[in-house]
Amino acid sequence: MIADQQQLAALDIPKIRADFPILEREVRPGVPLVYLDSAATSQKPIQVMQAMDGFYRNSNANIHRGIHTLAEEATAAYELARERIAAFIGATTPKEVIFTRNTTESINLVAQTWGRANLDSGDVVILTEMEHHSNLVPWQLLAAERNLRLEFIIVTPEGLLDLESYAELLKLGPKMVAFTHMSNVLGTINPAREIIEMAHQAGAVTLVDAAQSLPHIPVDVQELGADFLAFSGHKMCGPNGIGILYGRRVLLEAMPPFLGGGDMIKRVELRSFQSNELPYKFEAGTPAIAEAIGLGAAVDYLSEIGMQAIEQHEQEIIAYALERLEEIPGVQIFGPEAQQKGGVASFMIPEAHAHDISQVLDSDGIAVRAGHHCAMPLHDKFGIPATARASFYLYNAIEEVDKLVDGIYKVKKIFA
């Protein structure tokens, strides 16, 4: 084997797993949970739960409105979380960090505000063939409304973006290039900095879907040169219902508000209003305060462990997983080699549909995803209806890969 427990010693896996209470669960008597679905949502450490519980127990109040003690404490905790997140991604100021519900809302915000203000009939938007529906449908909606032209960077049979086809598309003079940093199906880590540099040379603005990358590898928006970058809290040890849109300040200041209501205004009259300053211009109504505080705690947790250490661990475990999966007769694995991807292994076997694979694995407590993973066009490209997907995170141990492989052999035996 190319990996063993000593090679994975960069992270103290037993210590990390102890922070995640759900990993101690048995899904049925005598059957422990093997959670391999972190690309869908990650599990949450006790530190995040304690931060949210502490807010509700001690400081629960609305923010930015009251001057009593609880309101001031809640506001301070909420804005401190924003500061931590800004530092985590390398934003130049917390004003560039907008709280949303998730990556999907962040992308819709850009499409419906920046897009409507800057895109007209015939303008070109470049996407890729490996996009999640969240970075396809918002642009399709806008394209139908504004008669935009959508073009797509080709995905090669190896699961990589064809940058030569991208260079040809840039000759069309696109206004926007929006792409995933890491594919949730193939695991491919795209060369974001190069894609962004090429887009800027062509005069385009860029949006990076970092939902799958930011929880797993170091991401610095300044180093990438990103104009917009979106991600979700629930995929990075944080709570559900909270996401982030990063945007360069000059772009955000020029954009109209997304939603209307409280807190996004500076002044309101019966027939007009004046919008608030950044970042509040895009945060209408009472926000997910506890969730923002929980995301701040998740950022602290990941920072303490170290994103480079997490990346190294996942590189080693996916390399081991691919080697073990390739031992299985007839298995088809999608995506590039381990050194070009994150901790995602999507696969098929000839004996069983992906849903059957998932159901049998679940009988042994092994949680994997089955389906098109909100990437139907990518599955259509490869001519397949669905894949089974095992996805790994900082709390996964090498023994869980072995359990996955044993489970697949069980599937093959049942459906032979």
Partners of residue 229 on adjacent β-strands = 208, 246
Could you tell me if 386 and 371 are in contact, meaning their C-beta atoms sit under 8 angstroms apart? yes
Position 40 in a domain: no
pLDDT of residue 65: 82
- Report residue 262's pLDDT band, with 50, 70 and 90 as the boundaries: confident
Position 39 in a domain: no
Torsion region of 93: left, alpha or beta (phi above 0 gives left; psi -120 to 50 gives alpha): beta
pLDDT of residue 268: 86
Shared-domain flag, residues 66 and 129 = yes
- Element (H or E) spanning 52, and its range? helix 46-58
Task: Please tell me what DSSP assigns to residue 94.
Answer: G
Shared-domain flag, residues 267 and 354 = no
Tell me how far apart the alpha carbons of residues 259 and 268 are, in angstroms, rounded to a whole number.
14
pLDDT of residue 202: 98
Shared-domain flag, residues 258 and 373 = no
Boundary residue ending a domain (240, 269, 304): 304
pLDDT per position as a tens digit, 173-225: 999 999 999 999 999 999 999 999 999 999 999 999 999 999 999 999 999 99
Shared-domain flag, residues 394 and 259 = no
Shared-domain flag, residues 370 and 388 = yes
Kindly tell me the burial class for residue 249, based on how many C-beta atoms sit within 10 Å of its own C-beta (0-12, 13-18, 19 or more).
middle
Boundary residue ending a domain (252, 277, 304): 304
Shared-domain flag, residues 100 and 171 = yes
Tell me how far apart the alpha carbons of residues 247 and 379 are, in angstroms, rounded to a whole number.
31
- Report residue 229's pLDDT band, with 50, 70 and 90 as the boundaries: very high
Shared-domain flag, residues 116 and 195 = yes
Q: Report yes or no on whether pTM surpasses 0.85.
A: yes
Shared-domain flag, residues 310 and 221 = no
Shared-domain flag, residues 280 and 316 = no
Boundary residue ending a domain (242, 276, 304): 304
Position 5 in a domain: no
Of the listed 331, 374, 376, 384, which one is catalytic? 374
pLDDT per position as a tens digit, 294-313: 999 999 999 999 999 999 99
Tell me how far apart the alpha carbons of residues 273 and 265 are, in angstroms, rounded to a whole number.
7
pLDDT of residue 64: 92
The domain in which residue 230 lies consists of 49-304
Catalytic residue list contains 374: yes
pLDDT per position as a tens digit, 272-301: 999 889 999 999 999 999 999 999 999 999
pLDDT of residue 6: 43
pLDDT per position as a tens digit, 70-122: 999 999 999 999 999 999 999 999 999 999 999 999 999 999 999 999 999 99
Segment among 267-276, 345-354, 369-378, 397-406 with least mean pLDDT: 267-276
Average pLDDT over residues 256-260: 93
Average pLDDT over residues 119-137: 98
% pLDDT > 90, the chain: 94
pLDDT per position as a tens digit, 139-179: 999 999 999 999 999 999 999 999 999 999 999 999 999 99
Tell me how far apart the alpha carbons of residues 360 and 414 are, in angstroms, rounded to a whole number.
9
